[in-house]
Structure 1
Amino acid sequence: MPELEQSLPKYLQIAGHIRDRILRGDLQPGDEVPSERQIASEWNVSRPTATKALEALRVQGLVESRRGSGTYVLNRYDLNRRARERYQKADQTGRIYPPNERAEIVAAEIVEAPAHVVEALALGSGQRAVRRHRITYRDDQPVETSTSWYPADIADRAPRLVERGRIREGTLAYVESTTGRRARHAYDRVAARLAGEEELAVFGLTGPAAVLVVRHVVFDLDERPLEFAEAVYPPDAWTYEQQYTIH
């Protein structure tokens, strides 16, 4: 049974748990989410608390209630899964993408690291880095372009990084298993900017158009940068949401 914490009201924790399942792809559009009765039993809470949890999901636009039937996941394509949800998916299933998503690796190479990558990975000036560039499709529509960067010496122990084949268990999980370096924590920096020429072409946009950019850095157990990734999302395929308490 999932455990409740004291930092958030119970109904928000339950709603967050179901939301994560939706974002991971465990619950697809059209799938039925747990009922009030199931939530009350599984989480050991009252029915009113279960009702509030489902209402929170409805307010977020993630689910809809159908009279006499149940509560179902809505088709929300503006919610892209973040790194956290993908890590959870990989841990649980050994695969990082749900059935309706796929990634095409368009570049896998060792190149001289740009200045912002040198800074993020704490490399020396002029050092080289592994670059893996991919396009992610959902239902065959491009919804994300992303580039993962690793220190070049990691490729000696993780040679698949410089091959254009998919790493189905997830790139970070592969690097952990081959190098012995375990990820401890990560942080994301979220910003918006105008799309570049390549991004306009990939997403089929006419400029100028704003895109969401997420820069993601993973640190190992020794607090050394292990991975730097930059993901770009088109303007009609993302939202930024955060849930927290006021008092």
Structure 2
Amino acid sequence: MSSEEFAPPKYAQIVQTIRQKIADGTYPPGSLLPSETQLVREFKVSRPTVVRALQVLQLRGVIEREHGKGSFVKAAPPGASNQNPRPGRAVLDRVEADENCTVIDAGSLAATAGIAKLLDVPEGSTVVRRRVLFRDDERPTDLFTVWCPVHQAEGTQLGEAQPLTAGIRQHLQASKGLKLQHVVERLSARHPSADESKVLKLPKSSAVLGVLASIFNGGGRPVLVVDLVLPGDLHELEDSYSL
């Protein structure tokens, strides 16, 4: 077998290279990373692959991405070599229009018992659901679903089929003046459901990482429920903390 058969995906190679450059000081804390166009040229890959690598770095808490400004290296907190991963926050800051994604469905439906409990609304009440499939140039990379009470979604584009031009967190603040303050995440390793297997093009016996996040406003009321499904062979979460 050739060594190429064991090579990690292209986006993972970019992640590794950027992290090495951060570690050796090439990209110090607070510095601006090269633009997506520059990274496309440097690594000789497509833009979706570069975007995917940057999203993974954001998911791991290594960088911050600011729409229209670029990607910045995060400063390490005192006493730690890296910040904890924040999958829920990272997905709320993703800009769909900047990534290779498909809005599978967006609109109103009745809340199931589980979603109603998480949103603290009556079972069967109307909520807005948005499901988005993200890809790189090789395969689907993650499936994102968000639920929101219908009164919170009014005046926003959460129930519309076009990709959002701002992250959900920024979009809600701009359109509703709503600030998201607190996240509770639950992570689970499991097999995909039949629907997830079909959408992500995964065997039913494969492993996925599920991230279920409840998002609260400043008053402690749940505003959103986020479900993020990540193919296990494409993703890893790591943590760094002091003993």
Q: Secondary structure of the residue that 1:195 maps to in structure 2?
A: coil
Opposite residue 89 of structure 1, the aligned amino acid is: R
Change (3 A) 1:37 1:146: closer
Question: Cα 1:82–1:110, aligned 2, differ >3 Å: closer, same or farther?
Answer: farther
How big is the shift at 1:245? 1.0
Alignment of 1:66-105 (within 5 A): 80=56, 88-90=64-66, 93=69, 96-97=94-95, 101-105=99-103
If the length of structure 2 is used for normalisation, what is the TM-score?
0.64
Displacement of 1:138 in angstroms is 2.0
2:182 aligns to what? 185
The number of aligned residues is 187
The verdict on how the C-alpha distance between 1:88 and 1:236 changes in structure 2, with shifts beyond 3 A counting, is same
Q: Is the 8 A contact 1:220 1:226 kept in 2?
A: yes
Native 8 Å contact 2:96 2:163 kept in 1: no
Q: Over residues 35-55 of structure 1, what are the superposed CA-to-partner deviations in whole Å (9 max), with x where a residue is unaligned? A: 756678x79xxxxxxxxxxxx
Q: 2:120 aligns with which of 114, 119, 122?
A: 122
Where do 5+ consecutive residues of structure 1 fail to align?
1-22, 44-75
Q: CA deviation at 1:130?
A: 0.5
Structure whose alpha-carbon radius of gyration is higher: 1
Mapped pair 1:168 → 2:165: yes
| Counterpart residue number, 2:79 | none
- SS state at 1:162 partner: coil
Q: 1:118 offset after TM fit, Å?
A: 0.8
Give me the whole-angstrom Cα distance separating, in 1, the residues matched to 2:134 and 2:62: 13
Question: How far does the alpha carbon of each residue in 1:80-130 deviate from its partner, in whole angstroms, 9 at most, with x for none?
Answer: 466685994246748735998422111001000111211111112221111
Checking the alignment, whether the CA contact within 8 Å between 2:112 and 2:123 is kept in structure 1 is no
Q: Within 5 Å, give how 1:135-150 maps onto structure 2.
A: 135-150=133-148
Distance 1:37 1:86 in 2: 14
Please report how far the alpha carbon of residue 198 of structure 1 lies from its aligned counterpart in structure 2 after TM superposition.
1.9
Query: Does residue 1:112 correspond to 2:100, yes or no?
Result: no
Contact 2:181 2:216 in 1 (8 A): yes
Query: Distance between the aligned counterparts of 1:221 and 1:120, measured in 2?
Result: 17
1:203-218 to 2 correspondence within 5 Å?
203-218=200-215
Kept after mapping to 2: 8 A contact 1:217/1:229: yes
Q: What CA distance in whole angstroms lies between the structure 1 residues aligned with 2:176 and 2:126?
A: 18
Ranges in structure 2 where 5+ consecutive residues have no aligned partner: 1-10, 31-51, 71-92
Tell me, yes or no, if the aligned pair for 1:130 and 1:162 is still in contact at 8 Å: yes
Give secondary structure in 1 for the equivalent of 2:100: strand
Using the TM superposition, give the Cα deviation of residue 34 of structure 1 relative to its aligned residue in structure 2, in angstroms: 4.9
Q: Is the aligned partner of 1:225 residue 2:213?
A: no
Match of 1:134 among 132, 135, 160: 132
> Matches of 2:124 and 2:16 in 1, distance apart?
47
**Contact 2:186–2:211 (Cα < 8 Å) also in 1:** yes
SS of the residue 2:154 aligns to:
helix
Shift of 1:225: 1.0
**Separation of aligned partners in 1, 2:104 and 2:204:** 23
Asked whether the equivalents of residues 110 and 129 of structure 1 are also in contact (C-alpha less than 8 Å), the reply is: yes
CA contact (8 A) 1:108 1:130 kept: yes
Once residues 63 and 158 of structure 2 are traced to their aligned partners in structure 1, the CA distance between those partners, rounded to angstroms, is 18
Task: Give secondary structure in 2 for the equivalent of 1:215.
Answer: strand
Identity percentage of aligned residues: 22
TM-score after normalising by structure 1: 0.63
- What residue number does 2:83 align with? none
**CA displacement, residues 171-205 of structure 1 (integer Å, 9 cap, x when unaligned):** 22111211112111212110022111222222322
CA contact (8 A) 1:101 1:139 kept: no
